[in-house]
Amino acid sequence: MSILHHIYNTLYNQFGDSMFYIMGFMAVLSVVAQWRLYEKAGQPGVAAIVPIWNFIVFLKIIGRPASHIWLFLIPIYGQLYLLPKVWIEMCQSFGKHSLLDHVLVIVLNGLYIFNLGMSYDTKYEGPVYGRALSDMRHEPRPSLA
């Protein structure tokens, strides 16, 4: 807990009260990004702001059953393995199969999801969980090109 307090103090000393405006802007940006992403996948956009339903719809888009929510509660497995894995599956559901896309969705998650949601070129290709590798297209199409 002291580490979080130290990080907060460091950021607050650096940015002052504007830190809260920056965090608020990022929160609004992420809600808009998920809303557009859900609508692009044929799901209701309002699910982006409803807590548990948000996660169920997210898992539905990539083809995972809703019962996989419980796997995210396993301490190390859920956060360090499964969360990056489902974000990569999200990329693949929208036709992004290159290594660059996989790295970007993990490192710049909110901005990458915003890019996926707002891009007119990106189309939803269907769920990827449980699909054979041979069924997926492996054309590298980085989203920054």
Instruction: Give residue-wise pLDDT tens across range 97-116.
Output: 999 999 999 999 888 999 99
The tally of CA atoms less than 13 A away on the side-chain side of residue 119 is 18
Q: Give the number of C-alpha atoms closer than 13 A to the C-alpha of residue 76, restricted to the C-beta side.
A: 0
Average pLDDT, the chain: 88
Q: Give tens-digit pLDDT for 17-31.
A: 888 898 899 899 989
Which ranges of the chain have pLDDT less than 70? 132-145
Widest pairwise Cα distance in the chain: 52
Calculate the CA 13 to chain-centre distance: 30
Cα separation of 110 and 47, whole Å?
Answer: 17
Q: How many CA atoms lie within 13 A of 68 on its CB side?
A: 19
